[in-house]
Amino acid sequence: MRRFSSYGPVNPKLHYYAPRQELIDFALRQLVGESPNEGGHYITVWAPRQTGKTWLMQQVLAGLRHDQRFAVAKLNLQHLKQETNTVEVVKAIAEDLGRMLHIDVGAVNSLRQFQEVFRRELLVKPLVLLLDEFDALTEEAVSSIAGVFRNIYIYQQDQADKLPEEKDYLLHGLALIGVRAVLGIENVTGSPFNVQRGLHVPNLTPAEVEGIFKWYEQDSGQQIDPAVIERIFYEFQGQPGLTCWFGELLTETYNQAKDKPLTLDNFNEVFAEATNALPNNNILNVISKANKEPYKEMVLELFRTDQKIEFRYDDQDMNYLYMNGVIEREKVDHIKGYVKFPCPFVQKRLFNYFAYELFRHMGRLYETFADLSDTITENSLNIKNLLKRYEQYLQKNRQWLLKDAPRRTDLGIYEAVYHFNLYMYLHQFLRGYDGQIFPEFPTGNGQIDLLVQYAGERYALELKSYTTPTEYKKALTQAARYGKQLHLAEISLVVFVNSIDEAHRTKYEEIYHDATTGVTVTPIFVETGS
C-alpha cells in the first residue's frame, strides 16, 4: 500500500501524489519545441522549496527518454554550491555530462572550452539538458554559465535554415531548475540570459489535494470526513511538502483506529501536534529565513492589521522570502498584488515562534492573592475585564517588557509585538485555569484573531490597531462578519492605540449591534503607551 511522503521527490510507485500531467506536458513541449525542427526552448523552472520541482522534472526526463531524436541528460549541481571558482564549476559539469553521455569532452579549463562541449563534433544527437539546483551556484557562476548558453542559443538562431542536427551546436533544449528566478534581480549587472521562458510550479489545487486523500481512502478502506480534507487544504493551501507531511501524520503516526473514519477531532489532535510539538524541515527553514536580518523586518510588518504591503518581485528582500516559502503573492485584481503569508499553518508557526522568542518570560501577571472573580470563575470568563487587566499589566511592566522589542526605523515598536505579547499573556493566564487560546489568520494578512476555549464556551477576539474613524467602523462590521462565520452571537474587537482619554474611550467602546449579521461586537481599547 502507498504512503504519504514529504522526504524528497515522491516515488510514484510507492507514494501518493498528484499526477500534474498538464505541467509535465507543458515542460516537454517547451524543451522539445512546438516545432522540433525549429529547435526547443531554454526555460527556467522555479518555485519555493518543497513544491515538487525535482519530481516534476524527473517525470519530464522520463518522457524525454522515450523520444529517440534526442540525447537527454539531467545533472544535479547541489554538490557545487561551495565552489567559488567558476572554471572548476564548468569543468565538473562538463565531466559529469561526458560520463552520462559516454563521450570524451576533453580538457575544459575555460568558459570558451565549456561552450565547445556542445558542438556537433562531440554530441551525436541534439541534446536536451536539465540542470537541477542551478541556483545553488554562486552568482558569478550562474551569470557566466547563462552567458555561454545564451551565446549557443544565438548561434543556433543564426543557423535557422539548418535542421537541428546540422547546426554547429546541438543544445536543443535547456531547463535550469531552482527555487528562485536565478537570472533576474540578483544579478546586478543585468541578466545575460534573456532567451529563457519561465515555468512556475504552483501549489496543489483543491481538486489535487482531494484526489490524493481519496486515493488513500480507496487503498486503505478508511473513510476521511470531507471537512477534514477541506481543512487540510485551507491550512496548507496545497503546499505539496506540508500537505504530504500532514497526510503522513494523519494516516500513519497518529492513526490509532484505522477501522474508524478520520474526523475533525482527529484533524484537530494532529494539527495541534504539528503546530506546537513536531519538527519539520520545511518549517524550520521558513523560520530561519524569517528570523534573519534584514528579512525579519518585513515579516514583522506583515503581521500588521492596518495596511497591506504591495508585492514587488524585484524587491530583493521580498524575492528572497518568496522563494524560500515565507511569503506569497495575493492577487486582488488584474493589477494589484499584495504580500501575504503562504498559508495559515506557516503564519501560525511564525506567530508562535516570535511570540515565544520575545516573551518567554512574562513576569507576574497579577498579584499573588488578587481577587479575579470579576474576570474568571469556574464557569465564566469576562473578556473585557481580562483585557483591562492586560492593559494594566502592560503599563506596569512596559519598561522592561519591551526594552529589547524589535523597532521600526522610526523607533516605533512593531504592531505585531503587542499581538505577540497579548497572546502570551492570555496563554499564561488561561493555562492556570485549564483554558486554551489559538491564534487564527483568516486572510493571510491584515486580520489576526484569538480564539479562547474556556469552561465549554468559545470566545473570539479580533485584533486591530486604531488608524482612522472610517477604518474603525469598517473593523466593527468586519468583526461582526467573522463572528457570524464562527456561529457566535458576540465577538470582541480589541483595538490597540498609543493613548486614549476617558472621553474617547467612552465614545469608541460603545457596544455595536450589527443589523446584517445579528452579531454583537464589544470594542475594547488597549492603550500601549508607545
Check whether residue 70 and residue 150 sit in a common domain: yes
Residue range of the domain that includes 485 = 349-527
Q: 305 in a domain, yes or no? A: no
Q: 506 in a domain, yes or no? A: yes
Q: pLDDT at residue 217 above 90?
A: yes
Contact between residue 94 and residue 137 where contact means Cβ atoms under 8 Å apart = no
According to the model, what pLDDT value does residue 27 have?
Answer: 93
Q: Kindly report the three-state secondary structure assignment for every residue of 305-371.
A: CCCCCECCCCCHHHHHHHHCCCCEEEECCCCCEEEECCCHHHHHHHHHHHHHHHCCCCCCCCCCCCC
Check whether residue 180 and residue 240 sit in a common domain: no
Window from 154-158, 262-266, 444-448 with minimum mean pLDDT: 444-448
Check whether residue 168 and residue 226 sit in a common domain: no
DSSP state of 253: I
Amino acid letter at 469?
A: P
| Chain Cα centroid distance, residue 17 | 20
Check whether residue 370 and residue 460 sit in a common domain: yes
Q: pLDDT at residue 183 above 70?
A: no
Q: pLDDT at residue 196 above 70?
A: no
Per DSSP, the residues of 278-306 read ---HHHHHHHHHHTSTTHHHHHHHHT-SS
According to the model, what pLDDT value does residue 336 have?
Answer: 77
Overall average pLDDT of the 9-15 stretch: 92
| Chain Cα centroid distance, residue 249 | 20
According to the model, what pLDDT value does residue 214 have?
Answer: 98
Nearest to 28 by CA among 69, 61, 76: 61
CA distance 490 to 493: 10
Of the three residues 232, 248, 278, the one that is the final residue of a domain is 278
According to the model, what pLDDT value does residue 174 have?
Answer: 94
Query: What's the longest Cα–Cα distance across the chain?
Result: 91
Cβ neighbors of 426 (< 8 A, separation 6 or more) are 386, 390, 437, 450, 452
| Total-model pTM | 0.87
Q: How many domains does the chain have?
A: 3
Q: pLDDT at residue 476 above 90?
A: yes
Per cent of the chain over pLDDT 90 is 73
Check whether residue 398 and residue 502 sit in a common domain: yes
Phi, psi for residue 169 in degrees, rounded to 5: -115, 140
Which CATH number is 28's domain given? Answer: 3.40.50.300
Q: 334 in a domain, yes or no? A: no
Q: 465 in a domain, yes or no? A: yes
Check whether residue 218 and residue 192 sit in a common domain: no
Overall average pLDDT of the 156-167 stretch: 88
Overall average pLDDT of the 64-71 stretch: 93
According to the model, what pLDDT value does residue 318 have?
Answer: 87
Q: 325 in a domain, yes or no? A: no
Check whether residue 467 and residue 516 sit in a common domain: yes
* 174 membership: H or E segment, kind and range: strand 171-178
Cell numbers of 147, please? 552567458
According to the model, what pLDDT value does residue 401 have?
Answer: 95
According to the model, what pLDDT value does residue 188 have?
Answer: 38
According to the model, what pLDDT value does residue 328 have?
Answer: 87
* 246 membership: H or E segment, kind and range: helix 240-248
Check whether residue 173 and residue 26 sit in a common domain: yes
* 485 membership: H or E segment, kind and range: helix 469-485
Of the three residues 200, 219, 248, the one that is the final residue of a domain is 200
Of the three residues 141, 167, 200, the one that is the final residue of a domain is 200
Check whether residue 41 and residue 174 sit in a common domain: yes
Check whether residue 373 and residue 427 sit in a common domain: yes
Q: pLDDT at residue 331 above 50?
A: yes
At 102-159, the pLDDT tens digits run 999 999 999 999 999 999 999 989 999 999 989 889 989 998 999 999 999 999 989 9
Cβ neighbors of 127 (< 8 A, separation 6 or more) are 70, 71, 72, 73, 101, 118, 170, 171, 172, 173
Distances in whole angstroms, Cα of residue 482 to Cα of each of 115, 448, 476: 60, 11, 10
Overall average pLDDT of the 244-251 stretch: 97
Q: Mean pLDDT over all residues of the chain?
A: 91
Window from 78-87, 134-143, 182-191, 259-268 with minimum mean pLDDT: 182-191
362: exposed, middle or buried (C-beta count within 10 Å: 0-12, 13-18, 19+)? middle
Q: 10 in a domain, yes or no? A: no
Check whether residue 255 and residue 165 sit in a common domain: no
Which CATH number is 273's domain given? Answer: 1.10.8
Cβ neighbors of 492 (< 8 A, separation 6 or more) are 383, 384, 387, 459, 460, 461, 462, 479, 521, 522, 523, 524
According to the model, what pLDDT value does residue 118 have?
Answer: 97
161: exposed, middle or buried (C-beta count within 10 Å: 0-12, 13-18, 19+)? exposed
Overall average pLDDT of the 191-209 stretch: 78
Q: 219 in a domain, yes or no? A: yes
Q: How confident is the model at residue 198 (pLDDT cuts 50, 70, 90)?
A: confident
Q: pLDDT at residue 189 above 60?
A: no
At 332-361, the pLDDT tens digits run 776 778 889 999 999 999 999 999 999 999
* 461 membership: H or E segment, kind and range: strand 457-465
Window from 68-77, 92-101, 137-146, 369-378 with minimum mean pLDDT: 137-146
Q: 268 in a domain, yes or no? A: yes
According to the model, what pLDDT value does residue 52 have?
Answer: 86
Q: 138 vs 314, which has greater pLDDT?
A: 138
Overall average pLDDT of the 460-489 stretch: 94
Q: pLDDT at residue 45 above 70?
A: yes
Q: pLDDT at residue 177 above 70?
A: yes
Check whether residue 231 and residue 365 sit in a common domain: no
